[in-house]
Amino acid sequence: MKKFIVPIICLITIIVFAFYNNKLVTYATNFFTNKQDLVLLAGNEYTKTNDYLYVQRSSSYVPLGYQDVLNIFYSIINNHWETFTFYCPSEYEECINDVTKLSESSDVLSNINNFVHPYNSFTNVKTSIDSNGEIIVKVSYLYTDDQINFINKEVDRIISENYDSSRAMDENIKAIHDYIINNTKYDIEYENNKDKLTYTAYGVLMHHLATCNGYTDLMAIILSKLNINNYKIAFNPDPEENSEGHVWNAVNINGKWLHLDLTWDDPVGDGRDYLYHKYFLVTTDEMKEADNGDVQVKEHNFDRYIYQEY
């Protein structure tokens, strides 16, 4: 009889252990996948406190729908977090699918990037997704600390030389708009100048050359320094269409959202320097009217679902 007791006890022990071990795993999974009290680090000094119609700062990092996922990615980037982990709750059945779809869409990530301060814009976002609902997001950012220090010194100088507190804000923005254009040329040889980083504010100030990204980043940094609510608007062309992407500034003046496009106010022509104000703080209708001039401009066909303020 004794020879049967030991195996029976061992079998019962294994069954009990398996039962309770499974319960512990289930408990742990449910605990983490529904965990809401995450430890959150503060954002950096360039974290925006603004919410927009397309993206808002997350109040909870436990998503319950696609908009929550969008907001979490926006908040991660906006806060300049290099690594962040959140969890899909069991009641949000499409969570992993939605996170996968968003994280694999370069267009959606680029759209999110347009709403953060340029210093918090990314070059790469990598997302790992566990089958149990753990999401780990790792972000690489565009601007280095040394570049930011250099830009900030130059921006302080530009503001001190062009800003007058006795003038209306739009006049001050115009003075800065004119300064940037008068001291910058469009980088028509960008493909040969990639090492000059002319798609960044750093490259603009260092080499006085800019692509549309460079013009827009520099103006966005200055607008933010002046506590003016702003973001970047981008046109992402259809790969099958014969058009190029473009980006410009969205600026909120006295509660009204207006367009500001330094690139098209500094056109490439016959070798002479040009300074226009055709795209200086204009409404969407005014921008369309300017686009229908001698040169037909298609690069302002922005997605109104993303840039809902317009």
Confidence of residue 241 (pLDDT cuts 50, 70, 90): low
Confidence of residue 239 (pLDDT cuts 50, 70, 90): low
φ/ψ of residue 17, rounded to 5? -60, -45
pLDDT of residue 236: 78
Confidence of residue 193 (pLDDT cuts 50, 70, 90): confident
pLDDT at 264 over 60: yes
pLDDT of residue 29: 43
Express each pLDDT in 49-61 by its tens digit.
999 999 999 999 9
Q: What is the mean pLDDT of the chain?
A: 89
pLDDT of residue 274: 87
Q: What class is the 145-291 domain?
A: alpha beta
Report CA 180 to chain centroid distance, whole Å.
23
* Integer Cα distance of 51 and 139 in angstroms: 21
Q: What residues does each domain of the chain span?
A: 34-142, 145-291
* Integer Cα distance of 257 and 241 in angstroms: 29
pLDDT at 10 over 70: no
User: Six-digit token pair at 207?
Assistant: 């080499």
The H or E element spanning position 166 is none
Least confident of 22-36, 141-155, 241-255, 268-282: 22-36
Express each pLDDT in 62-90 by its tens digit.
999 999 999 999 999 999 999 999 999 99
Tell me which residue of 148, 145, 142, 137 sits closest to 58, measured CA to CA.
Answer: 137
pLDDT of residue 30: 43
pLDDT at 16 over 50: no
pLDDT at 271 over 80: no
**Running DSSP on this structure, what letter comes out for residue 297?**
P
The H or E element spanning position 147 is helix 145-162
Rounded to 10°, the helix 95-103/106-113 angle is: 80
Report how many helices (DSSP H) and strands (DSSP E) the chain contains, helices first: 10, 8
